[in-house]
Amino acid sequence: MLLSKILKARRKENFLGTVSINFRPIDGSYGGMNVFVQQISRWLENRGYQVIYELRPEVDVIFVVHPWMTHIDPYSFEDVKAFKDAHPAVKILLRINECDKRKNTHHMDQWLSQWESIASHTYFISTWLRDYHADLWFDKKRPHSIIYNGADPRIFHPIGSANYDGHTPLRIVTHHWSDNPMKGYADYERLDAMIASGAISDVEFLVIGRWPADIKWQATLTHGAAHGVELATLLRGCHVYLTGSNWEPCGMHHVEGIQCGLPVIYHRQGGGIVEHAQRYGLEYTEDLGSVIENMRSQYADYRRKVLQSAPASGDDMCLRAIDIIQQLCVA
């Protein structure tokens, strides 16, 4: 027993601690979760932590970012609970970034409640999401934080971004990895129809990523899934970001757009998006066409706000998360 403790201490001499994340990142486009794990893994390693994606005896903190099992999740709730029982000193940080309301499902909230029951600290990606779960099951007296999403500022930045001067078509863009209808595809189809019919003029619309197979675009420009530098370059070539997502916990797509210098048009029922985007653009419901025209006339003002008071970036997001991890390691 003593020898094993000595060997464990020696293994950890070169690290501040060992963090296990329950989502193994992959190269390429795979949505906001993949982007987040890539960012936080890099930051943790740069700050002196060992990052792994399995459960080993030297783990100090288990960072739960994905509450359901997929082919790239290395372990389940049952695995973590058993590991915690065998290693009582391990701490569990739970990142909540989902809800049934967003996915139109009936199991996500229950899964999150189950994970929270064994968590040492929980962080939500928006106040809206925290309050949504508090209305159902979460006790606000439990240790928790609010940390908004942020994109990698080395990639998603406004340098070289297009500026609308009124002499060219207003270029509007959106991008999604998911083809879930809750992402706002009905509104994107509506804008497509308005452009095709001439109901709105001097507007171009670009959709990047994936969309439901039954959509037949008429006037919309499309581009397949993109990530990293390619995605940021496409975003900076446009003027305005449009997100039609409903009940989004926070989202990463509009964050990437705003960080690239684009004012945003967002749905009034956007959930966490609203509290994040309201300083940088205009909301809409059924009046998308008139809101686009309002954005056209007010573009200079919102562009100035985006450039002068940009939202917290992925660096800020990672540093706040690492501060919590450090506190858990000390505890």
What CATH number does residue 208 fall under?
Answer: 3.40.50.2000
Please state, in angstroms and rounded to a whole number, the distance separating the CA atoms of residues 177 and 153. 20
Based on the structure, what is the number of domains in the chain? Answer: 2
For the segment 227-272, what is each residue's pLDDT rounded down to a tens digit? 999 999 999 999 999 999 999 999 899 999 999 999 999 999 999 9
Residue 73 lies in a domain: yes
Please state, in angstroms and rounded to a whole number, the distance separating the CA atoms of residues 125 and 147. 5
Instruction: Check residue 33 and give its pLDDT.
Output: 86
Which single residue is written with the structure tokens 């070289």? 160
Instruction: Check residue 34 and give its pLDDT.
Output: 87
Residue 10: pLDDT above 50? no
Residue 163 lies in a domain: no
Residue 160 lies in a domain: no
Let me know: does 19 contact 55? Beta carbons within 8 Å. Answer: no
- 260: DSSP letter: T
Domain span at 211: 170-308
| Average pLDDT of span 196-218 | 97
The answer to whether the pTM exceeds 0.95 is no
Instruction: Check residue 6 and give its pLDDT.
Output: 45
Residue 155 lies in a domain: no
Query: In terms of domains, do 9 and 142 share one?
Result: yes
Percent of the chain with pLDDT over 70: 94
Query: In terms of domains, do 13 and 96 share one?
Result: yes
Which single residue is written with the structure tokens 């997929």? 70
Query: In terms of domains, do 11 and 69 share one?
Result: yes
Please state, in angstroms and rounded to a whole number, the distance separating the CA atoms of residues 97 and 196. 36
- 220: DSSP letter: -
| Average pLDDT of span 203-209 | 98
Query: In terms of domains, do 108 and 7 share one?
Result: yes
Residue 66: pLDDT above 60? yes
Residue 324 lies in a domain: yes
Residue 164 lies in a domain: no
Residue 279: pLDDT above 60? yes
Instruction: Check residue 73 and give its pLDDT.
Output: 78
